[in-house]
Amino acid sequence: MFFDGWLPLGRIVVLGALAYLALVAMLRVTGKRTLSKLNAFDLVVTVALGSTLATILLSKDVALLEGVTALALLIGLQWALTWLSVRSCRVSAWIKAEPRLLFVGGRFLDDAMRRERVTADEVRAVARQHGYRDLSRVAAVVLETDGSMSVIGRSASPPQGALEGVQGGRAS
């Protein structure tokens, strides 16, 4: 069907506006960290929030208060877990992956790449996306905790500080 009448459209507009305002208010209260994508866990929560908002808008079986409660639950759990992870190394280690060095000093780290299921072609593609046509100009490539890759260019000084805490890095 192309059109079921004005009532369903009005419902979407009213519920959408109210759910959106509730979501914005909750995100303002809990801070920027709630929607960051610093690791895979954060990404999952962000996608779940979007899915929940869509369900509120489009499902006639979900009342506004139920949907807002679901949003509040997801945001509250995200806030609690990140609060705990900042205060507890155990919780932090449980929910966060560590970044891993994939390329350094002109060579691919095959064991690390195999462990992370990344190919040399994918590393080359990321270097190109960062503007490097030649890998000899790349000091290191790191697979970050959120699944993205960082490319550190060569300079006069080695990238020691940037590799601190990276698996396979000099300071790890």
Tell me, what CATH number does 158's domain have? 3.30.240.20
Structural domain count of the chain: 2
Is 89 domain-assigned?
Answer: yes
65: domain range?
Answer: 6-94
Look up the pTM and report it. Answer: 0.72
Residues in the chain: 172
Is 13 domain-assigned?
Answer: yes
Is 117 domain-assigned?
Answer: yes
The pLDDT value recorded for residue 171 is 44
User: 75, 94, 113 — which closes off a domain?
Assistant: 94
Q: Does 13 share its domain with 54?
A: yes
Q: Does 39 share its domain with 119?
A: no
Q: Does 75 share its domain with 105?
A: no
Give the list of residues 6+ apart from residue 131 with CB closer than 8 angstroms, or none: none
The pLDDT value recorded for residue 62 is 95
Distance, in Å, from the CA atom of 93 to the CA atom of 150, rounded to the nearest integer, reads 21
* Digit-coded pLDDT (tens) for 76-124: 999 999 999 999 999 988 888 889 999 998 999 999 999 999 999 999 9
* Digit-coded pLDDT (tens) for 23-57: 999 999 998 888 887 777 788 899 999 999 999 99
